[in-house]
Amino acid sequence: MSASLRVATLPSRDPAIPRHDWTLEEVEALFELPFMDLLFRAAELHRQHFDPNELQRSQLLSIKTGGCPENCGYCSQSQSFDTGVAASALMPLAEVIAQATAAKAGGAQRFCMGAAWRDVKPRDLPKVTAMIAGVKALGLETCATLGMLSRDQAVALKDAGLDYYNHNLDTGPDYYDTVVTTRAYQDRLDTLSAVRDAGLSTCCGGIIGMGETRRDRAGLLHQLATLPAHPESLPINDLVPIPGTPLGDSSAVDGLEFVRMIAVARLVCPKAVVRLSAGREQMSRELQALCFLAGANSIFVGDRLLTTSNPAREADEAFLADLKMRPMA
């Protein structure tokens, strides 16, 4: 039986109601749908939960760069690889607040802070909570990605005013050990559990273009769709190959395949804010517009992400104006 037929013969359900009982085969079958059918389904479902002409603008700041003990094969900040990224100390509070203030003035609605840590050390937690409280006081939505967390640490971050915690699964469970060996898949799931238990919203997605198969991509989305609660924020990153990393020579993913990833993410996690994250600089305007049509409704703005470049703010403003897209209410 063909994949598209398997989807067509699934029990009738309201697609607007989030499911947590997806099978891997069902998610794979969505990827196999004719492109136009898949795009139509995703766009239709997107409109049931979101205004398709609204886009959330986020800005990302590296508050502690480099020197990470993890060996994630895509990452310029791992101490295992020679990428030219030097380790730095934690950024001073005043500089973080200044960066957040400038981000808000530039149109950002959400401010994300990332630190290249395996986990949060007790000595650093008060400094990070002060940053979160300061950014929150500016009226920005707050997000942080700091590595693995205990439940008590997650509670402390929430008490400081954190809205979202980012902890990506990166890829499907069957491909994960090909990408990173210093942290188990279950470690990532345990951190997500601690974040949920603390009452924080989760920001969790992954990266495509690391040599994985379509089944691996389906495996990632299957994991996200069968969590006890779907991620409220779901970033999809297009790998930016970094010289010096094991994935530095990776080939680009076909653009239509990337759109499929966005569309299936929208279908299996219908209420998530799907974030078109790293890799936009290597995408055409037309490809990005297709991603928005398929259900992506957030981008990172600003000239840099953590250590990689991002489209210039002026170019993004002109692009979004051409699409007549508004900031998300």
- What amino acid positions are annotated as catalytic residues? 68, 72, 75, 112, 143, 203, 275
Count other Cβ atoms within 10 Å, centred on residue 223: 23
Distance, CA of 157 to CA of 128 (rounded, Å)? 8
Distance, CA of 40 to CA of 35 (rounded, Å)? 9
Q: Could you identify the residue written with the tokens 């994935």?
A: 247
- Among positive and negative, which fits the CA dihedral 170, 280, 103, 234? negative
| 60: enclosing H helix or E strand | strand 54-64
Strands in 215-259 per DSSP E: 233-238
| Encoded tokens for 35 | 């492109």
Distance, CA of 325 to CA of 50 (rounded, Å)? 13
| Encoded tokens for 13 | 């359900």
What does 143-211 look like in DSSP terms, one character per residue? EEE-SB--HHHHHHHHHHT--EEE---BS-TTTHHHH-SSS-HHHHHHHHHHHHHTTPEEE--EEE-SS
Distance, CA of 203 to CA of 200 (rounded, Å)? 10
